[in-house]
Structure 1
């Protein structure tokens, strides 16, 4: 965890309201870090629905496999507890890692008073180091006695690794006769190129939504949020996004929702996606060593999928990202990244803008290009690169950040 807060950190942090059916507590278990919290326990009311999306890495962590198995074994998955630790990813740890997840779930189940298959797990940190699950013994039991509904910021801090600030978001929306709340938290700053989910993120609501409907909402919700973010092009072994719906708003007049297509869910779906989008942008803002938030818009592509591939090609280009770090509007590097994406593009129809200033069009530098104007625009903390292909109606947007010397420093020392 970096000591200096990113200059891109949000200036306004929301007040996180309590959610009926969710209580949280954090502690220091000494997993890796000294003198800081590194374990989170969330206790959920009986009957809480759960859904999840995970990394598509072929080398997933033991907690990812644990959660997938619990979700896949039931058409109506329920959760009573969530345990998250930072400092150790419990990934590439073989049989020892699987034993650690089973032991952690057993310890949590005993502390909470539920079955181990109602405990969901997530770990983040160093890959390849065995996780000593005995460190949770006693710690989780103590946490179970002090959980509280207002510990959202403490929870967000406990799951941080190289993050420089805790990431939280909230929304309130009407569902039937009730006002329901959606709270989310996330962590992530490096090894970020989500594919299906993100680093670690957890969303909670009191809405009475069945696990199947929640799963559909989650899978659809990540596509233009977490799956449209990249820091360094590297997909983690541990990417986990879990959503929990306690259903307690049923008592206040919220209807039971069994299908994601239920028209009564329209406003909730919009709010749910806004929370995911907010968290995803905070991840991009907190990229390791980042000084600039970068938005890449591709329009005029042959399809949305084609636009996404081109946008990601630009977003993951070290040459583009280092040019932005140097505040250089080097559109030649953008042209390079568009051309290498393997998607339809026509050099002589292509135009490129930086922060609304067109720098290149029709295969050459724009006739009105003004170096001083563009240089001033590149000093802003947010850089928008707009790429117009002129081939069709496909459009997409992704978020990334610049690539600085500090990224190398952070990752060169990560295991030290």
Structure 2
């Protein structure tokens, strides 16, 4: 596997475009298009929130039907969530407009929306934007990057990555883009991720690859403990690489899954580190566990602890908050056997051994915790399993952004 520059246009046959439709923002692009020159098999995973936005319901319907997909229309600014029959009708209108502009079937259009909940979509602006997108689309890496920028809300940077593998002597490329900064919590989040590949692979196999990876990537991140109404991860495969079909369980499948994981993990970590108001990516490793389930439970409990996240913001090695979060996680362990370490580019330090503090330097700990990427390692000494979760520190900036999000 080779990591390369690019995003959703890196794979053969995929194009993208962006435009400023004025849906909410007045000074930036807010619509993006992903288009495939050939129909794609589609896989998807969606929010576990009972309250699902209209585009989530639309995409679940399209992906579940087995229809071949050729386009994804995404807007930022308005989430089209809690908008009733009218909001779902706007998804239909969007698909109709895209089908006409791109000369593709209506059931070949997926939709993504992110932004304010409860507002109706200005459908005239949206459909006008689709016509602009159809005229601007191309397969350049630059257009892929601009599409990644157009789907941002409170994100501070675009998020994209691509990778190449070889299957049967053919080059297969996977590329993706994502957005997410707030309302981020395991079971996915206010995040949209779109991954494209030119691999020849069956729909069922593609879905297995995506579903099998989401639990270890997007479902292991948290910014604020809120599971969104809109989270969607879409994976499209158009088969233009011309490789022998990737079969589930084969060595080629394992290599494809590894590359997909690299893309998804990178995007997930970029979302976590770009949390609203954040100054640091906070990584938590639970090691020495007797099961993966126990490890995931412990890691997510620590990374979701607001008290721990404020300690990270203050560069304070307040280890009691971490042990506390482990204790209420629901996972069973012996607190008198726990070792805890902090690690960053500035070094590694042990904070507790067998559940009690060691004689460590507060100054050294503060130095380690002052880096933009910080890791906490909790060892419960019960086995060989481990898991990783990602979040960020919690600062005053989070309150400032969300106190006036709708204005």
- Shorter-chain TM range is over 0.9
- SS of residue in 2 equivalent to 1:315: helix
Alignment match, 1:180: 172
Alpha-carbon distance change, 83 to 330 in structure 1, aligned in 2, over 3 angstroms? same
| Aligned counterparts, 1:125-136, within 5 A | 125-136=115-126
Q: Which moved more, 1:19-28 or 1:235-244?
A: 19-28
Alignment match, 1:22: 14
Alignment match, 1:350: 338
Alignment match, 1:399: 390
| Aligned counterparts, 1:301-320, within 5 A | 301-320=289-308
* Structure 1 CA distance for aligned equivalents of residues 307 and 392 of structure 2: 12
- SS of residue in 1 equivalent to 2:241: helix
* Structure 2 CA distance for aligned equivalents of residues 360 and 378 of structure 1: 16
Q: Compute the displacement of 1:384 (Å).
A: 1.1
TM-score, scaled relative to structure 2: 0.94
- SS of residue in 2 equivalent to 1:161: coil
* Structure 2 CA distance for aligned equivalents of residues 130 and 107 of structure 1: 18
- SS of residue in 2 equivalent to 1:108: helix
Alignment match, 1:9: none
| Aligned counterparts, 1:283-298, within 5 A | 283-298=271-286
Does residue 224 (structure 1) correspond to residue 216 (structure 2)? The answer is: yes
| Segments of 4+ moved more than 6 angstroms | none
Q: Compute the displacement of 1:370 (Å).
A: 2.1
Alignment match, 1:4: none
Aligned residues: 398
| Aligned counterparts, 1:93-132, within 5 A | 93-132=83-122
- SS of residue in 2 equivalent to 1:138: helix
Alignment match, 1:379: 370
Q: Compute the displacement of 1:136 (Å).
A: 2.3
Alignment match, 1:255: 244
Does residue 149 (structure 1) correspond to residue 139 (structure 2)? The answer is: yes
- Listed one character per residue, the Cα deviations across residues 42-101 of structure 1 (whole Å, up to 9, x for unaligned) are 221233111111111100100000010111122xx3101110000001001111111111
Coordinate RMSD, CA, aligned: 1.7
- SS of residue in 2 equivalent to 1:122: strand
Q: Compute the displacement of 1:139 (Å).
A: 2.5
Q: Compute the displacement of 1:270 (Å).
A: 1.3
* Structure 2 CA distance for aligned equivalents of residues 194 and 330 of structure 1: 24
Alignment match, 2:37: 45
* Structure 1 CA distance for aligned equivalents of residues 16 and 403 of structure 2: 34
Alignment match, 2:232: 240
Q: Which moved more, 1:187-196 or 1:80-89?
A: 187-196
* Structure 2 CA distance for aligned equivalents of residues 329 and 147 of structure 1: 49
Alignment match, 1:78: 68
* Structure 1 CA distance for aligned equivalents of residues 220 and 384 of structure 2: 19
* Structure 1 CA distance for aligned equivalents of residues 188 and 390 of structure 2: 16
Asked if structure 2 preserves the Cα contact closer than 8 Å seen for 1:198 and 1:227, the reply is no
* Structure 1 CA distance for aligned equivalents of residues 171 and 99 of structure 2: 31
Asked if structure 1 preserves the Cα contact closer than 8 Å seen for 2:4 and 2:163, the reply is no
Alignment match, 2:264: 276
* Structure 2 CA distance for aligned equivalents of residues 36 and 61 of structure 1: 24
* Structure 1 CA distance for aligned equivalents of residues 12 and 354 of structure 2: 57
Q: Compute the displacement of 1:300 (Å).
A: 2.1
Asked if structure 2 preserves the Cα contact closer than 8 Å seen for 1:27 and 1:38, the reply is yes
- Listed one character per residue, the Cα deviations across residues 341-367 of structure 1 (whole Å, up to 9, x for unaligned) are 12102121111111231111123211x
Q: Which moved more, 1:377-386 or 1:12-21?
A: 12-21
* Structure 1 CA distance for aligned equivalents of residues 190 and 368 of structure 2: 31
TM-score, scaled relative to structure 1: 0.92
